[in-house]
Chain A
Amino acid sequence: MSSELTVGFLPLIDACLPILAREHGFAEAEGLSLRLVKDASWATVLDRLLYGQSDAAHMVAPLALATTLGRGRPATPLSVPFVLGLNGNAITLRCDLADRVAPSAGRLGDPTAVGAALREAAMERKRAGSRLRFGVVHRYSSHNYMLRYWLAACGVRPDADVEIVTVAPPFCADALQAGDVDGICVGEPWNSVAVARGAGRIVLATAQIWRRGVEKVLAMREPVLAERREDIEALVRALIAAARHFVDPDNHEANAAILARSEYLDGSVELIRRAISDRLLLRKNGKPVHYPDFMFQYREAANFPWISQALWLYTQMTRWDGTEYSDEEAEKVARVFRPDVYRSALLGSREPLPGASSKVEGSLAGLTAVGTQQGAMTLEDNRFFDRIAFDPHEMRGYLANLP
């Protein structure tokens, strides 16, 4: 007898792991019957989770923290035992703006150089009495925080110098084409859709802003994790198996075909296959460019819910919501990510488990072996583009030193 779990998702490539866990039978092998529910907004994915129509959900990481803290909804503690992936987003600008700030159209720009040129353009627009406008997919998304982090570090003050608004992923290309926004920060396949339509050019991948930035997570209500602990641990194992399958180049073709189906992304197999093999078509009629680790779904224990990642997101949340940092909130946030569940689900498996549950984010310039609880683990470059590291023990100081 298998247990049924209902998992909500938005039709984005990084919903791949639950989809593949179901399609390739990894869930079934763990005694789970996965039911997947597709929605069109994070608000609805969240509502279904909060009102019991789903047991777990694919979710932008900051939203899981915001919900726990009661921002936008009454506070409801959520738990995250698994990270569904790192990065996978890009910044696409209107063609004329892209030509100005990132003139070498054949490759991704340099974040510092593009940022400096963008600052010029933003200030010029501001002097003319309006502001450049960017679309992000949600107020509480990594897209929003990555874009803001980059802009601020380049001397562009979000909200003051440029406007940042929410645009639903399927409308991003439209908004860019219609001139409603000058740039978008969105996940795939939506950048590629905008490029294919000639609405814009991809100038940066968010992985260039933070090489190992946490993106989507598997979230659930805290009591659901407690009541269905065994099922959730089984789900973690099924998702890990799906992640291993997803990153194997031999499977890209088949997986792209599954994800493209109408009940999932309902999109182009070609665009999806390109994104999952880390290739990006930066401009219309160009040639795809390979950017390694554009999406990051498995290696280096990418799915491990590092508490330091949650805390970095919390610093950005206070920064951009304009609220005071509080130790009490930070503690609540730290409890959302559940490395203990990840560990107990995978103890004794061949998956490496790190020794620590928190780390200094963005401190590694190259290959570094780290201590583990089981297996061997080597981390690669995980820096932010401005080389500032985040020490979760020094959050106040970190925030004070940010622009």
Chain B
Amino acid sequence: MRIAVVDESATRAAVICDGLAALDDCELFVITERREMVARISAVSPDIVLMDLGNPSRDMLEEYFAVSRAVARPIAMFVDESDAESIAASVEAGVSAYVVDGLAPHRIRPVLDLAVRRFNAFARLEADLAEARGKLAERETIDRAKRILMDSRGMGEPQAYAELRKTAMNQGRRIIDIAEAVLTAHQLLGGK
């Protein structure tokens, strides 16, 4: 079975392919370029096309599928009504699937299930990454606040940190909030 994964995010495409590689007798083709997309898909002659819901080219692709000019075999949106649950899960995960006419549902299902799982995994990965980035930014803010206290009040580093922590505890706020307040106050008072 030939599967085309259309995704402008090369990273996500890799994550999905990695998951689909577990399937037997599947050939995977990744298309990340927007230009000539239909020609590329058509050259692959896929049985299934997977595309993320955020891709603005979906309307264009559906038009080509509808008029079947570009692809040799008619492709339809995977909209077998008997499997609404599976489609709803894919919409929720953010993936759409287009399937060549006549492909048996039992062959589609595992692909879609895997794709949904991989999409969800990728979304979690991104959320983790965003959180990690946020933590890193917090760390930097706290370091800068400490530096301000060390410079302006002649404290050592452990003392500066203890000061921030104590203030946070007294006010029932997080250290990062106090650190941000220190930075803001410092800026307002003409510091850099």
Which residues of A pack against B, CB within 8 Å? Answer: 39-44, 47-48, 51-53, 72-74, 137-139, 165-171, 178
The residue on B at minimum CB distance from A171 is B56
B77 adjacent to chain A (CB < 8 Å) = yes
Interchain CA distance A52-B96 in the complex, whole Å: 15
B34 within 8 A of A: yes
- Chain A CB count within 10 A is highest, among B64, B66, B81, for B66
Chain B residues closer than 8 Å to A167, beta-carbon distance: 60
Inside 8 A of A39's CB, which chain B residues have their CB? 53-54
Bound complex: CA A109 to CA B49 (Å):
43
Task: Give the CA-CA distance A178 to B35 in the complex, in Å.
Answer: 10
Whether B53 pairs with A47 at a CB distance below 8 angstroms is yes
What is the chain A residue whose CB lies nearest that of B87? A51
Tell me if A43 and B79 are in contact (CB < 8 A). Answer: no
Q: In the docked arrangement, what's the CA distance between A397 and B77, Å?
A: 35
User: Which residues of chain A have C-beta atoms less than 8 A from B84's C-beta?
Assistant: 51
A73-B77, A139-B66 known; A168 and B60 CB under 8 Å?
yes
B59's partner among A43, A73, A74, A178 (CB-CB below 8 A) is A43
Residues of chain B within 8 A (CB-CB) of A48 are 91
Q: How far is the CB of B135 from chain A (nearest CB, A)?
A: 24
When the two chains form the complex, which single residue of B54, B60, B81, B92 contacts A165, counting CB atoms closer than 8 Å? B60
Contact B77 A72 (CB under 8 A): yes
User: Which residues of chain B have a CB within 8 Å of any CB of chain A?
Assistant: 34-35, 53-60, 62-64, 66, 77, 79, 81, 84, 87-88, 91-92, 96
A139 touches B63 (CB 8 A): yes
Instruction: Tell whether, in the assembled complex, residue A43 and residue B66 are in contact, meaning their CB atoms are under 8 Å apart.
Output: no
Q: In the complex the two chains form, what is the Cα distance from A169 to B81 in whole Å?
A: 30
Residue of A nearest to B91 (CB): A51
Interchain CB contact under 8 A, B88 and A41: no
Pick 18 A–B contacts, CB within 8 A, sort by A.
Answer: A39-B53, A40-B54, A40-B58, A41-B53, A41-B57, A43-B58, A43-B96, A44-B54, A44-B58, A47-B53, A51-B88, A72-B66, A74-B81, A138-B59, A139-B62, A166-B60, A167-B60, A168-B59
Tell me whether A53 and B60 are in contact (CB under 8 A): no
Tell me whether A72 and B62 are in contact (CB under 8 A). Answer: yes
| Contacts beyond the supplied A44-B53, A72-B66: 19 A-B pairs with Cβ under 8 Å | A39-B53, A39-B54, A41-B55, A41-B57, A41-B58, A41-B59, A42-B59, A43-B59, A51-B91, A53-B92, A73-B77, A73-B79, A74-B81, A138-B63, A139-B62, A139-B66, A166-B62, A166-B63, A166-B64
Looking at B60, B64, B66, B79, the one whose CB has the most chain A CB atoms below 10 A away is B60
* B57: nearest chain-A partner, CB-CB: A168
Instruction: Determine the residue in chain A with the shortest Cβ distance to B36.
Output: A180
CB distance from A281 to the nearest CB of B (A): 24
Q: How many angstroms from the CA of A169 to the CA of B66 in the assembled complex?
A: 20
Q: Distance (Å) between the CB of A130 and the closest chain B CB?
A: 15
Query: 10 closest Cβ contacts across the A-B interface?
Result: A168-B56, A43-B58, A41-B58, A40-B56, A166-B63, A166-B60, A51-B91, A51-B88, A44-B53, A139-B63
A72 nearest in chain B by CB position: B66
Whether A74 lies near B58 (C-beta < 8 A) is no
Q: Which of B59, B79, B92 has the most CB of A within 10 A?
A: B59
Residues of B within 8 A of A139 (CB): 59, 62-63, 66
Shortest CB distance B110–A (Å): 20
Give, as a whole number of angstroms, the nearest-CB distance from B86 to chain A: 11
CA distance A166 to B58 in the complex (A): 10
Provide the bound-state CA to CA distance between A341 and B25, in Å.
54
Minimum CB–CB distance from B134 to chain A (whole Å) comes to: 19
Contact among B34, B57, B64, B91 for A53, CB-based, below 8 A: B91
Contact A47 B59 (CB under 8 A): no
A165→B66 CA distance, assembly (Å): 12
Alpha-carbon gap, A109 to B97, bound state (A): 43
Minimum CB distance partner of B88 in chain A: A51
The residue of chain B having its C-beta at the shortest distance from the C-beta of A63 within the complex is B59
CA distance A66 to B94 in the complex (A): 23
Residues of B within 8 A of A73 (CB): 77, 79
Instruction: Enumerate chain A residues within 8 angstroms of B53, measured Cβ to Cβ.
Output: 39, 41, 44, 47
> Which residues of B lie under 8 Å from residue A53 when comparing CB positions?
91-92
CB-defined contacts of B60 to chain A, threshold 8 Å: 165-168
Of B55, B57, B62, B79, the most chain A CB neighbours within 10 A belong to B62
Which residues of the other chain, A, contact B35 by a CB distance below 8 angstroms? Answer: 178
Q: In the complex, A51→B84 CA distance in Å?
A: 8
Q: How far is the CB of B37 from chain A (nearest CB, A)?
A: 11
**Chain A nearest Cβ from B59, distance in angstroms:** 5
Given A73-B77, A166-B63, do A52 and B88 touch, yes or no (CB 8 Å)? Answer: yes
Q: Which residues of B have CB within 8 Å of A44? A: 53-54, 58, 96
CA–CA, A42 and B92, complex, Å: 16
Query: Which residues of chain B are within 8 angstroms of A170 by Cβ–Cβ distance?
Result: 56
Q: Is the CB of A43 within 8 A of B62?
A: yes
B62: chain A residues within 8 A (beta carbon): 43, 72, 139, 166
With CB as the reference atom, state the residue of chain B lying closest to A48: B91
What CA separation (Å) do A170 and B8 show in the bound complex?
A: 15
Contact status A41-B56, CB under 8 Å: yes
| Contact residues in A for B77 (Cβ distance below 8 Å) | 72-73
